[in-house]
Chains A and B, each alone.
Chain A
């Protein structure tokens, strides 16, 4: 039985291994790019080999016996049913093995736990369904959503193979400097999420109302991808993480430019209808599509349809107010800049894919702060 299995798996491995040309393809755990992730990888390999070794011993004995001690070969059954010595031996040996495994595991655990002496802190907030990053003390603060290409592909059924890094790409990646000890503090706004980048070697849950801490030090510049790993609702599968590790000077440049961009005032000049609709569509894809869906149909029982909604197709001011205030079930969108809000409102009132056709357009200047977040 086991032979058949091995043969089968072997053949499959070979055929599939051959046709898979993907570079990031692995069968084993990733080694990662930090010291801790390498320690973890070593531990993983250690236990794996221990298990393989014990497995060969146990199954070997069993299959030997199954082959030789068969009735069809005329083997007569012995009648022993106890042997204290062997029983003691096979209790003690595993115990020793376990102790031997526990020692390096404890070391790594203690290392992982030590968030002291970090060079910088980043606050990570999980939200349904995107990540919110706050570089503590620098003023840099942004959201990181699934990128538009993946978002579109998984919603309209187009071929995922055509999308680069399908489901593993974001609009605003997390950027960190190499060689620095970075402390992360995790929390969540709504439900539990979990932040995992395999190359860093760990994941950590983001619990609403509490802070969890973890740290990393990336030694190799590069782009590392991961995903949310705690079921957090409908779009749990669609909130990836991208970390870009940069050399210190590049990082500083990035930090400065991000800060500058962030502080830029929104451009409130009038836009053409096309501009409003294009921008609106993008804002919709980032902020609204998760609940109201790509065709505006919503999800019966959870999220109302925008298609044909009286509120969408009715007066503008109540709509602006509604979006800025939010409700107990829908988040407030006061965070959108006036031009974004104007665009998305124009879009939901007029987009053919949402089935609405009011025929008007709303300019950024028309947005009045009904509800202010600050």
Chain B
């Protein structure tokens, strides 16, 4: 219908409103759930259902439009920019939690322990507490816990994710070289490694909760540990789901060496998730 050199302007967008409705319902449900109201979980399920339908519908629409050649080069650039800036916003989101970790390790915990500019804090309010990391604070919040070591599952997970970064790039090479089997195998490997990572992390959490006494409630160590790794894990899931969609589309024969924005976006996202993990491994586990 449209000439391929004009910038494609879609009309009659129904998915965005549905997306909003889904998200709003989910959040209202979650808020109600947190407030202990019984309709909370029902609303959440309803909202998520709408949301999943929306995602499926919207992705399908984009895929069909893309495959029917409606997107010219300009549209592709806009999508790439959109994705890049979106990833930048995600970086800022993670920066908050890394910043929190930095602040608590280098400022608030030492202050509570009587070091630096606020030594009187320790003397008058928390005498007897000395600043060491990891800590659950002078109030010993959440009781005794064992910190998470770096060289068991976390190291394995690092290897898993790094490998998945490689397989993802390998798949990309396959796509560019028009080797569809390589593309598909690479993607399968990437997705599989991603889910394996999540599985390992689930084990890790399970062990933390049941055997190490380490929970979200274990003072600032538990808080930062689970917040950072949890949000990261969530991003791995999202990335793996997006990659699965890309895999599915590749299997259907979508994407050309010139035109494969969806693949690129998913790959960028995956690498971003990878890099965040490296940061986590260093700052949360190693240091």
A to B CB contacts below 8 Å, 22 in the list: A123-B124, A185-B120, A185-B124, A187-B124, A187-B125, A209-B112, A209-B121, A209-B125, A209-B126, A210-B111, A210-B112, A210-B118, A210-B121, A210-B125, A211-B118, A211-B120, A211-B121, A211-B123, A211-B124, A211-B125, A212-B118, A213-B120
Contacts of A209 in B (CB 8 A): 112, 121, 125-126
- Considering the complex, which residues of chain A in the window 151-194 have a beta carbon less than 8 Å from any beta carbon of chain B? 185, 187
CB-CB nearest in chain A for B123: A211
- Considering the complex, which residues of chain B in the window 113-169 have a beta carbon less than 8 Å from any beta carbon of chain A? 118, 120-121, 123-126
CB distance from B98 to the nearest CB of A (A): 23
Q: Which 7 A-B pairs have the closest CB atoms?
A: A211-B121, A211-B120, A210-B121, A211-B124, A185-B120, A213-B120, A211-B118
List 15 other contacts, CB 8 Å, given A209-B125, A211-B124: A185-B124, A187-B125, A209-B112, A209-B121, A209-B126, A210-B111, A210-B112, A210-B118, A210-B121, A210-B125, A211-B118, A211-B120, A211-B121, A212-B118, A213-B120
CB-CB nearest in chain B for A212: B118
CA distance A213 to B125 in the complex (A): 13
Contacts of A210 in B (CB 8 A): 111-112, 118, 121, 125
Contacts of A185 in B (CB 8 A): 120, 124
Interface residues, chain B, with chain A CB atoms under 8 Å away: 111-112, 118, 120-121, 123-126
Contacts of B125 in A (CB 8 A): 187, 209-211
Contacts of A187 in B (CB 8 A): 124-125
CB-CB nearest in chain A for B126: A209
Contacts of B124 in A (CB 8 A): 123, 185, 187, 211
CB-CB nearest in chain A for B138: A209
CA distance A213 to B120 in the complex (A): 8
Contacts of B112 in A (CB 8 A): 209-210
Contacts of B111 in A (CB 8 A): 210
Q: Which interface residue of A185, A187, A211 has the most chain B CB atoms within 10 A? A: A211
Interface residues, chain A, with chain B CB atoms under 8 Å away: 123, 185, 187, 209-213
CA distance A123 to B111 in the complex (A): 18
CB distance from A83 to the nearest CB of B (A): 37
CA distance A133 to B87 in the complex (A): 51
CA distance A187 to B112 in the complex (A): 13
CA distance A187 to B111 in the complex (A): 14
CB-CB nearest in chain B for A115: B120
CB distance from B137 to the nearest CB of A (A): 9
CB-CB nearest in chain B for A134: B124
CB distance from A300 to the nearest CB of B (A): 16
CA distance A187 to B124 in the complex (A): 10
Contacts of B126 in A (CB 8 A): 209
Q: Which interface residue of A185, A210, A212 has the most chain B CB atoms within 10 A? A: A210
CB-CB nearest in chain A for B111: A210
CA distance A210 to B112 in the complex (A): 7
Contacts of A123 in B (CB 8 A): 124
CA distance A143 to B42 in the complex (A): 49
CB-CB nearest in chain A for B124: A211
CB distance from A227 to the nearest CB of B (A): 25
CA distance A205 to B124 in the complex (A): 17
CB-CB nearest in chain B for A213: B120
CB distance from A263 to the nearest CB of B (A): 23
Contacts of A212 in B (CB 8 A): 118
CB distance from B113 to the nearest CB of A (A): 12
CA distance A123 to B121 in the complex (A): 12
Q: Which interface residue of B111, B112, B120, B126 has the most chain A CB atoms within 10 A? A: B120
CA distance A123 to B120 in the complex (A): 11
CB-CB nearest in chain B for A123: B124
CB distance from B253 to the nearest CB of A (A): 57
CB-CB nearest in chain B for A113: B117
CB distance from A194 to the nearest CB of B (A): 17
CB distance from B187 to the nearest CB of A (A): 50
Contacts of B118 in A (CB 8 A): 210-212
CB distance from B122 to the nearest CB of A (A): 9
Contacts of B123 in A (CB 8 A): 211
CA distance A274 to B111 in the complex (A): 52
CA distance A211 to B126 in the complex (A): 10
CB-CB nearest in chain A for B122: A211
CA distance A233 to B251 in the complex (A): 59
CA distance A209 to B125 in the complex (A): 7
CB distance from B279 to the nearest CB of A (A): 29
Contacts of A213 in B (CB 8 A): 120
CB distance from B86 to the nearest CB of A (A): 35
CA distance A212 to B124 in the complex (A): 11
CA distance A185 to B119 in the complex (A): 11
CA distance A187 to B126 in the complex (A): 12
CA distance A312 to B204 in the complex (A): 51
CB-CB nearest in chain B for A183: B120
CB distance from A293 to the nearest CB of B (A): 25
CB distance from A140 to the nearest CB of B (A): 16
CB distance from B125 to the nearest CB of A (A): 6
CA distance A187 to B120 in the complex (A): 11
CA distance A209 to B123 in the complex (A): 12
CA distance A185 to B121 in the complex (A): 9
CB-CB nearest in chain A for B120: A211
CA distance A211 to B111 in the complex (A): 9
CA distance A209 to B129 in the complex (A): 13
CA distance A123 to B123 in the complex (A): 12
CB distance from B119 to the nearest CB of A (A): 9
CB distance from A189 to the nearest CB of B (A): 11
